[in-house]
Amino acid sequence: MSAWIPPEQRRQQVIAAAFRLLVAEGMTGVSLRKVAVESGLNIGSVRHYFDGQHDLLTAAAAEASAQLRRRLSEHPAEKLRGLTGEAALDALQNLVETVMPVDEPRRDEAIVVIELITASRTMPVFHATSERMAADLTSVLQEALDALNIPDADLAATQLAAVISGLTLSAVTPHGSLSVERVRAALRAHLRMVLGEGPREWVQAG
């Protein structure tokens, strides 16, 4: 007899399967039938938690947003206050890298986020989650830059969020095929400029 699994744990099992399919096959690869196979459940069990593909993908989007918030919350802006020079640069880069594809778990999360953000362009069901993820990221970046006394922190945060998006897209698609080392070098060069130190790292890494 199989062990009883709490309903919320089983629901998360289904969402985790949807995540894996999003990474492996993209948005079009996520069907209830495929998710049932991937999660080791029958399709009736999947339908018990999710009415259809959109319902499942909406839950996956919400989970991706929650993961983003959890990662960012591990680096409160107050820890950056008073830092200068390399210490400030290291702390800021550590914060930013929490949401960038610099290892396998974060790469998978980034792929899921990109899939859902791309889908939000034509699928209104994802609009709110996409906007919330962007707002959460920009808000954390602005708080961090404010703590470092960066002038025009709101504009600098918007620029940095755009750099994060571009580097992430180029790291997980053939569009740029950037290695982790190249992503980190490019990010560090931009952060040096944000902190007013110039792009030395990018020159060395090129």
Residues of the chain with pLDDT under 70: 1-4, 197-206
pLDDT of residue 170: 95
Same domain, 102 and 173: yes
Q: Is residue 133 part of a domain?
A: yes
Same domain, 71 and 38: no
pTM more than 0.95? no
Give the 3-state secondary structure of residue 197.
coil
Same domain, 110 and 39: no
Q: Is residue 56 part of a domain?
A: no
Same domain, 69 and 22: no
Same domain, 172 and 75: yes
**Lookup: tokens for 48:** 């018990």
Residue 13: which CATH number?
Answer: 1.10.10.60
* Structural domain total, the chain: 2
Query: For residue 56, which of 86, 34, 87, 25 has the smallest C-alpha distance?
Result: 34
Q: Is residue 82 part of a domain?
A: yes
Q: Is residue 58 part of a domain?
A: no
Q: Is residue 114 part of a domain?
A: yes
Residue 131: which CATH number?
Answer: 1.10.357.10
pLDDT of residue 1: 39
Q: Is residue 146 part of a domain?
A: yes
pLDDT of residue 102: 95
- The range of the structural domain enclosing residue 2 comes to 1-50
Same domain, 71 and 18: no
Cα angle 93, 99, 100; round to 5: 75
Same domain, 88 and 28: no
Q: Is residue 3 part of a domain?
A: yes
Same domain, 27 and 82: no
DSSP string, 132-149: HHHHHHHHHHHHHHHHTT
Q: What is the pLDDT of residues 114-160, one digit of tens each?
A: 998 999 999 888 888 889 889 989 999 999 999 999 999 999 999 99
Contact 115, 108 (CB under 8 A): no
pLDDT of residue 166: 96
Q: Is residue 57 part of a domain?
A: no
pLDDT of residue 204: 40
